[in-house]
Chains A and B, each alone.
Chain A
């Protein structure tokens, strides 16, 4: 709500401050995007300019010819989508159960799920590493995907429960009076009303798991199972081998999917983030 009209001077200052804010927020990504089209000569030497003097696609050609880059992109895409789908499915069932049924311990469970939200993955990686090693499930993309849900599930359940609480129970009751089974009423009547909420929650989960480095670092070891986080961090750990142009091209490719998600659901996300509890 904008309550006051500004004086001309105040207005000028305001616009300037907002402009500075936008530039600081966008500058690094913009620099990387334009930089990824520059030759090394131009990237490494002054004078620096945002816009490439002689644009080239060579960084991208090198990047896509690296043996495992596309593979790591596919791995990340697969594990992120799978982990998001898994979290959302489990969270929908749990959220519905927590808001519509009462059984012994339901209040305690809700509180416990919220509590696990604060447990950082750094405390879990050591035991998870030793447990999965014993089970022979290390370097396994499916085990890795399931592990990812440990960071998304608590907030997905929490968000879905609050969305379910906002949907009146009268619709499903009507369906049930008509003889519809409760579970059928749940997915035919209640879920369709929550599609936007499910999408918003899914986008947040997707962005979170797409970012993962920690579980990937300790659980995935072979070249073919690398995720994007691993392959990009491996590249800049040896910057003598990989020119910065190629690394920047990699960062641009890694950002595209989350950027698309973001553009797709930005308004819903800002609304959901206003309570400020988003992890990481």
Chain B
């Protein structure tokens, strides 16, 4: 490395330069975040108090009218309900299966690292790819799911998972569980690997069976990080747009129209920019509340370690 630059600098000057360099290095990310996140968020709030007239191309300040319009409609509460159903309905199977598979993969199985890489495939595969494949597999005309459902007498002529109002949400949840279980599994597996064998040996000496060992040793260990990961995932699922857009587009007949789908529709199909922004602000407030709860649980989990 090159030496002899700024040789024999007085310490005080170096200290000041140092602080300046620190600020200089952080500056790019601060600018990025200001332009890409902070300003758009501010803009979202200001859009929510305006109405845009397509004909005159003019905006008008309307106060909280947009919020009133959003909250007064039945479809907001229905969408909120669907969003919660989607998020919780995906999260619980993910947590149960993720924990189960993590416990299995923590055992002494052949080619463990290979198996571990294979099982996170669903997460790695691009979203549009997974959705295309599942739309093909679950297709009402050519899909193998429909074919076998009809063969086994589970459905009449066709099952049409994504095309029926009563089944579409289940279909979307099914694909989401397939896609997001690996994330929970990896998180739990990481925690499992830190549990000392001594606990299990002691429990075996006391005659505890496998279920009792899981219930009283493994489970208490993994619960705090599991709750934290689930909360984080809940926030992401609550705001999930692409998987639903690609699988059902929010249909049929709004059966899978969650809040993010609603926001997208209001903004880019109905061009109700003010109403869409108001919906966005409401979702942002919900996000703040859940992230507050997340940080609280995170603190508790970290203290328990």
The A/B interface has a contact count, at CB < 8 Å, of 304
Which residue of chain B has its CB nearest to the CB of A120?
B239
Interface-located stretch among A23-31, A52-60, A62-70, A193-201: A23-31
Q: Is the CB of B183 within 8 A of A101?
A: no
Query: When the two chains form the complex, which single residue of A103, A115, A157, A213 contacts B246, counting CB atoms closer than 8 Å?
Result: A213
Q: Please determine whether A258 and B124 come into contact, CB atoms closer than 8 angstroms.
A: yes
- Selected contact of B36 from candidates A150, A251, A279, CB within 8 Å: A150
B71 in contact (CB, < 8 A): no
Q: How far is the CA of A129 from the CA of B273 in the complex (A)?
A: 11
Secondary structure of the B side of the interface? helix
Q: What is the interface of chain A mostly: helix, strand, loop, or mixed?
A: helix
Q: How far is the CA of A189 from the CA of B5 in the complex (A)?
A: 16
**Least Cβ distance of B192 to chain A in Å?**
8
Contacts known (A115-B291, A118-B291, A126-B263); A214 close to B32, Cβ less than 8 A = no
Is there an interface contact between B33 and A232, defined as CB atoms closer than 8 Å? no
Whether the Cβ atoms of A276 and B40 lie closer than 8 Å is no
Contact indicator per residue, chain A 199-243, by CB within 8 Å of chain B (1) or not (0): 000000001001101100010000000001100110110010000
* CA of A157 to CA of B25, assembled, Å: 12
Given A18-B105, A113-B33, do A213 and B280 touch, yes or no (CB 8 Å)? no
Total count of chain B residues near the partner, CB < 8 A? 107
Q: Assuming the A-B contacts A17-B104, A94-B29, A116-B33, are A4 and B204 also in contact, with contact meaning beta carbons closer than 8 angstroms in the complex? A: yes
Question: What is the CA–CA distance of A103 and B26 in the complex, to the nearest angstrom?
Answer: 11
CA distance A207 to B121 in the complex (A): 12
Contacts of B204 in A (CB 8 A): 4
Q: How far, in angstroms, from A5 to B268 measured CA to CA in the complex?
A: 58
Asked if A141 is at the interface of the complex by the 8 Å CB criterion, the answer is no
Is the Cβ of B126 less than 8 Å from the Cβ of A119? no
Smallest CB gap from A110: residue in B: B26
Q: Does A61 contact B (CB under 8 A)?
A: no
Cross-chain contact B40 with A128 (CB below 8 angstroms): yes
* B84-92, B107-115, B153-161 - the one binding chain A: B107-115
Interface residues as binary, B184-210 with A (CB distance below 8 Å gives 1, 0 otherwise): 101101111101110011001000001
A274 at the interface (CB under 8 A from B): yes
Size bracket of the A interface: 35 or more
C-alpha gap A184/B5 in the complex (Å): 10
A14–B86 Cα gap in the complex (Å)?
A: 31
Cα-based distance from A179 to B267 in the complex (angstroms): 57
Residue A32 lies at the interface, judged by CB distance under 8 Å to chain B: yes
Question: Taking CB as reference atom, which chain A residue is nearest B30?
Answer: A109
Min CB–CB distance B81 → chain A (angstroms): 18
B1 touches A189 (CB 8 A): yes
Task: Say yes or no for A159: interface residue by CB 8 A criterion.
Answer: no
A274 lies within 8 A of B186 (CB) = yes
Name the residue on A nearest B259 (C-beta): A122
Residues of B within 8 A of A109 (CB): 26, 30
- The answer, among A21, A154, A175, A182, for a CB contact under 8 Å with B21, is A182
In the complex, per-residue mask of B263-276: 1 if CB is within 8 Å of any chain A CB, else 0:
11001100001001
Fill in one digit per residue for A77-113: 1 if any B CB lies within 8 Å of its CB, else 0.
0000000000000110110111011110010010011
List the A side residues contacting B142 at CB < 8 Å: 43-45, 244
A236 x B44 contact (CB < 8 A): no
B36-78 interface bits toward A, Cβ cutoff 8 Å, 1 = contact, 0 = none: 1101110110010000000000000000000000000000000
Q: B residues 94-141 with Cβ under 8 Å of A?
A: 101, 104-109, 113, 115-122, 124-137, 139, 141
Contacts of B22 in A (CB 8 A): 97, 100-103, 106
B29 touching A93, Cβ below 8 Å:
yes
Give CA–CA (A97, B19) in the complex, Å.
Answer: 9
Within 8 Å by CB of A218, from B2, B260, B268, lies: B268
B17 interfacial by beta-carbon distance below 8 Å: yes
A162-180 to B contact mask, C-beta < 8 Å, 1/0: 0000000000000100111
Residues 218-260 of chain B: 1 if any A CB is under 8 Å from the residue's CB, otherwise 0?
0000000100110010011001011001100000000000001
Q: Establish whether residues A251 and B129, one from each chain, have CB atoms under 8 Å apart when the complex forms.
A: yes
- Residues of A within 8 Å of B39, CB to CB, are 127, 131
Contacts of A1 in B (CB 8 A): 106, 192-193, 195-197
- Whether B28 is near chain A, meaning CB under 8 Å from some CB there, is yes
Known: A101-B19, A184-B2, A258-B125. 7 other contacts (CB 8 A): A1-B195, A122-B264, A127-B39, A229-B127, A239-B139, A273-B186, A274-B191
Question: Could you name 30 residue pairs across A and B whose Cβ atoms are closer than 8 Å?
Answer: A1-B195, A14-B104, A21-B115, A32-B129, A32-B132, A35-B136, A46-B147, A94-B29, A97-B26, A103-B19, A103-B23, A113-B33, A118-B232, A118-B294, A120-B236, A123-B41, A123-B239, A125-B264, A149-B32, A150-B37, A157-B29, A178-B1, A179-B6, A211-B128, A232-B128, A248-B132, A251-B129, A254-B126, A276-B183, A276-B186
- In the complex, the 10 A-B pairs of residues with the closest C-beta atoms, listed nearest first: A101-B22, A274-B190, A276-B187, A120-B239, A2-B108, A127-B43, A97-B25, A276-B229, A150-B36, A127-B40
